[in-house]
Homo-oligomer: A and B are copies of this chain.
Amino acid sequence: MRVLDEGKGPLFMDPDPDKAREFFRSKSRAMVDKRMSVKEAVERFVTDGCYFATGGFGANRIPTAVCHELLRQGRRGLGFSGHTTTHDFQILCAGKVFDRLDAAYIVGLEARGLSPNARRYMQSGEVQVADWSNYALAARLRAAGEGVSYGLTRSMLGTDTFTRSAAKAVECPFTGKTLCAVPALWPDVAAIHVHYADKFGNAVYKGISVADHELSRAAKHLIITTERIVDEAVIRDDPSLTSIPFYMVDAVVEVPHGSYPGNMPYLYFSDEEHLAEWMRVERDPDELERFLDKYIYGVSTFEEYVELCGGAERIEQLRKIELVEQPATPAGQGA
């Protein structure tokens, strides 16, 4: 069993499971009321220079309010990772919040095209990057959640993605075959948006889990934003539905429409017009500045932001699209 090859990308976080254990040993498991505002949650748990991660999938079930708040509080020097990150990434780039990045999918918004500002930021040389595949990042989180120092995948091998990562090619002790070992990743803090949670942090999301099962077990601190807070009894009535147990969670923030302008399964579709507006204003840095002043820096709560974007009426339109009563047409496209 030998190390056959290794990536030369930076390893931002220590994969030592005993250090993580020491942290988790001291993390409270008491079932206490963790409700607070997004402002307080970000103040308490996201410090300059810490390593941050978002749940969901780019513009689907994302913790938008936490991303906005990071800009408002002027956080800098963060580490960041995402399997597919799109609109969340775009927001963080607009605030130059991070300068170390474990990248798997960045700067793009999938079918919507590429973010001009995120590209500018990533092309500026200001960000230290390691590249990974989506699954490699998920495997890193999974290993962390399981309390071991590395995970395994058979991808990445033979490519520059491997070379620019901090993975290692190792020989399997049973078969002699080559596997890609990826170091465990315990983010300092993660934010995940869910459908409902109780005040202790027992949380439920519906639809695909993406890598949130893994992220929620790996993050040292976890901020839950939730469409609504429910009584503990709702959780205990059907524990088969629980996605995240309270002892992983540090903050529970009620944020209705909290994934907006992203999609929230069964509740509202992504606001393609607003996302297109983001892309448009990003072409001109000055215009982006004004846009951010209006929508992020100039408001103090997420509710205000949703109001600016059309409020309840717009949400109702997005609900109809989500329920397939109306088609989801990317703005500026279609016949």
Contact = CB atoms under 8 A, between A and B. Distances in A.
Q: Which of A1, A153, A168 has the most CB of B within 10 A?
A: A1
Interface string A165-194: 000101111110101010110000000000
A146 B146 CA distance: 15
A149 B177 contact: yes
A177 B154 CA distance: 22
A16 to B, nearest CB: 5
A170 B170 CA distance: 11
A56 interface: no
A240 B177 contact: no
Range class of the A interface residue count? 35 or more
B148 A174 contact: no
A170 B173 contact: yes
A145 interface: no
A207 interface: yes
A63 interface: no
Interface string A292-325: 0000000000000000000000000000000000
A173 B1 CA distance: 10
A175 B154 contact: no
A70 to B, nearest CB: 29
A291 to B, nearest CB: 36
A239 to B, nearest CB: 8
A207 B240 contact: yes
A2 interface: yes
Nearest to A177: B149
A328 to B, nearest CB: 19
B149 A150 contact: no
Contacts of A177: 16-18, 149
Contacts of A331: none
A207 to B, nearest CB: 6
Contacts of A179: 148-149
A230 interface: no
A150 B152 contact: yes
B149 A172 contact: yes
Interface in A61-80: none
B168 A17 contact: no
Interface string A127-159: 000000000000000010011111111100000
6 contacts: A15-B175, A16-B175, A17-B154, A17-B175, A149-B175, A207-B239
Given A2-B2, A150-B152, 5 more contacts: A148-B152, A148-B154, A149-B179, A207-B239, A207-B240
